[in-house]
Chain A
Amino acid sequence: MAPLATSSVPIAFAETAFSSGNSHAAIDLLTREEGALRRIIQRYVRDAATVDDVYQEVSLKVLKRIDSVRDLAALRGWLFQLARNACLDYLRREDRRQGLSHDVLAEHTASGDLGRNPGEQFLSRERVSAVRRALDHLPTSQREVLLLRIDEGLDHEAIAERLHISRQAVEVRLCRGRAALKNQLEDIMRGAL
């Protein structure tokens, strides 16, 4: 797979941005990193208008929070996290808006268009149901940890207390369960493409 062709941020520029905290530096940073940010967003939402919206959201967050970043080496990672979080927020909003209605599913099924990007495909009722079914087939130890985490919103410490196991055991089970579901989803999507 081709590597990301992102332009790096010159050290002098970044230092200026962090020390002065002015918005011009942030805008300059966004200009240089726009391509990389858009490529990250396009992994989650490929519709051009939506990509623009999400990018706009990310830009605003960069302008507001650039002063909080002190670790120059972590600049790209920080930008990646902002973009990913904005994409997840969008997917969750979209999911609530559509409510995974039968109308949306029927429309997609009738047209044979399950969406061009993974996110859009994923928001079909069939995909969502398939993941939930895959969860039901996980080993009990992994399933109960995931249910407590996702359905009840407990953190790792609380899950460990509830199940009388160590926090490390909780994280191991979470990782294995999530990895199994991710592989299942990968198979589903590969089959659909």
Chain B
Amino acid sequence: MSGSPVDHTNDEQTSRDLTCEEVAALLPLVADGALDAAADPALFTHLARCCECQDDLMLYDLVTVALEATRPATADSSVSRQREPKREPIRHVFLPWPAALAASLAVAVGLWMWLASMQPGRTAHTAPATQVVQVVGADGQPVYVVVQGDQVTVIDPRAIDGKAPANQPQVTPVKFNTAPAATTP
């Protein structure tokens, strides 16, 4: 290969003319992908017009295709692993110890209260408070309202004294659904 098969007719002038011997030394790197037309324009200009160098490069290329075709499966997976984008590692978030302690205590207290409420004979409101309020009745006379839990009893003092009308009951129990927090002054 002395450069004789190179077609110089109507050729563009390149910065330098390579001989086939020089090109032959570079062909393995071309086949390897280390050199391309942008990296070495003179080399590829020579290749574009030299039949012998094209034949040589074609053989190098076929070797590459053969080696790639017989790449072991494990190597295939290692290559694919290299080409895969790296995955972000899973980040574990740790609370600062005071916050963790507070959260643990809150859970423990909540659990204790729930267990306590589930014990037989015990309820959240074991002993409802009793309130007695004096209010003015419809006839302008004072009456007493006794509130115990959800039960309301109206007591007319005149009934106790025997002055109440005969057709009126002495007590008037009333049930409320809501807690007797609000009382009439």
Q: Which of the residues A1, A3, A74, A91 comes within 8 Å of B45, measured between beta carbons?
A: A74
State A184–B50 Cα separation when bound (angstroms).
Answer: 22
Chain A residue numbers with a CB within 8 Å of B51 are: 1-4
Q: Which residue on A lies nearest to B68, using beta carbons? A: A150
Q: Are B79 and A151 in contact (CB under 8 A)?
A: yes
| Chain B, 22-52, CB within 8 A of any chain A CB | 25, 28-29, 31-32, 34, 36-38, 41-52
Binds B, one of A52-60, A79-87, A106-114: A79-87
Q: Are A44 and B34 in contact (CB under 8 A)?
A: no
Chain A residue numbers with a CB within 8 Å of B15 are: 73
Within 8 Å of chain B (Cβ to Cβ): is A38?
A: no
Q: Which residue on B lies nearest to A33, using beta carbons? A: B48
Within 8 Å of chain A (Cβ to Cβ): is B6?
A: yes
Within 8 Å of chain B (Cβ to Cβ): is A105?
A: no
State A151–B10 Cα separation when bound (angstroms).
Answer: 43
Chain B residue numbers with a CB within 8 Å of A73 are: 12-15, 41, 45
State A98–B45 Cα separation when bound (angstroms).
Answer: 34
| Chain A, 28-87, CB within 8 A of any chain B CB | 36, 40, 43-44, 71-81, 84, 87
From known contacts A3-B6, A40-B54, A151-B79, infer whether A146 and B65 are also in contact, taking CB-CB under 8 Å.
no
Question: What are 30 A-B contacts with C-beta separation under 8 Å?
Answer: A1-B51, A3-B5, A4-B51, A6-B48, A8-B9, A43-B54, A72-B12, A73-B13, A73-B14, A75-B12, A77-B43, A77-B45, A78-B37, A79-B48, A88-B64, A95-B68, A122-B66, A128-B66, A128-B69, A131-B67, A132-B66, A135-B67, A146-B67, A150-B71, A152-B78, A174-B32, A175-B25, A182-B56, A182-B59, A189-B59
